[in-house]
Structure 1
Amino acid sequence: MPDRRPARVCFTSQVRPDRLDAYRAAHAEVWPEMLEALRDAGWRDYRLFLRPDGLLVGFLETDDYAAAQEAMARTAVNARWQAAMGDFFVDGGNPDEGFVVLDEVFHLEAQLERAGLPTG
């Protein structure tokens, strides 16, 4: 039987250290149209974590990451958001294209389940 759990995606990027406060402010009030587009494209439990040196770590769940990315790329609001966010990042350009996706190497609940142990 195929694994039907949603894909968990974790990625990193690098925010310019001199732009951290502005980056935090932009994400404190994300445009409602952008929030709806992310939801409608299948991005769930999407979170961003920011370290004081600008390391950004993102996490999301989705049924199909490539499809979720493609759905966002087709929206006008995403193009506007990426343009607004571009100068926050060390590499510039489209921030979505600069994500470094990490491999998941450990998941507590999955290993508990495999071992036949309770997860709660």
Structure 2
Amino acid sequence: MKRYCLTLDLIDDEKLINEYKQYHLDVWPEIKESIRNAGVDDLQIYLLGNRLFMIMEVNEDFSFEKKNQADLANPKVQEWETLMWTYQQALPQAKPGEKWILMDQIFKL
């Protein structure tokens, strides 16, 4: 099992943040299925203010490249991503088109 941590900001608007949270109370089944099919065994998202923090625990079948290719070929995932982008904003250090940014682990006990 491998763990990845990623971050992304939401648009700093209380109404939009609340809407985003509501969507995540009932994530579309096709989205959950696509995550599991990619080799993600556990995925959690935390929120502080407008900053999101994602923890992904993945199995040996997972790769970001394979997940990205599968997501691009899945119309429902593309619909979800387009919808979520109305609430999200890229971090200043993001490359063009980049949303979630992989974080570097700097400490482990």
> Which TM bucket (shorter chain)?
0.7 to 0.9
Q: How far has the Cα of 1:61 moved from its partner?
A: 1.7
- 1:40-72 Cα deviation digits (max 9, x unpaired): 1112211100112x0011110223332233333
Which of 23, 31, 34 is the aligned partner of 2:31? 34
Q: How far has the Cα of 1:73 moved from its partner?
A: 2.8
Q: Once superposed, which parts of structure 1, at least 4 consecutive aligned residues long, lie more than 2 Å away?
A: 67-74, 105-108
Partners of 1:68 and 1:104 in 2: how far apart? Answer: 22
Higher strand proportion: 2
The answer on 1:55 being equivalent to 2:51 is: yes
Give me the TM-score of the superposition, normalised by structure 2. 0.78
Partners of 2:57 and 2:98 in 1: how far apart? Answer: 18
Identity within the alignment, %: 26
Which of 40, 43, 60 is the aligned partner of 2:40? 43
Higher helix proportion: 1
- 1:84-117 Cα deviation digits (max 9, x unpaired): 11110124xxxx8311111123333xxxxxxxxx
Matched letter for residue 98 of structure 2: E
* Larger Cα-atom Rg: 1
Higher relative contact order, structure no. (Cα contacts within 8 Å, ≥ 6 residues apart): 2
Partners of 2:98 and 2:2 in 1: how far apart? Answer: 19
Partners of 2:71 and 2:2 in 1: how far apart? Answer: 17
User: 1:13 touches 1:56 (CA, 8 Å); kept in 2?
Assistant: yes
**CA RMSD of superposed structures (Å):** 1.8
Gaps of 5+ in 2: 91-96
- Secondary structure of the structure 2 residue equivalent to 1:98: coil
Q: How many residues align?
A: 98
Gaps of 5+ in 1: 1-5, 109-120
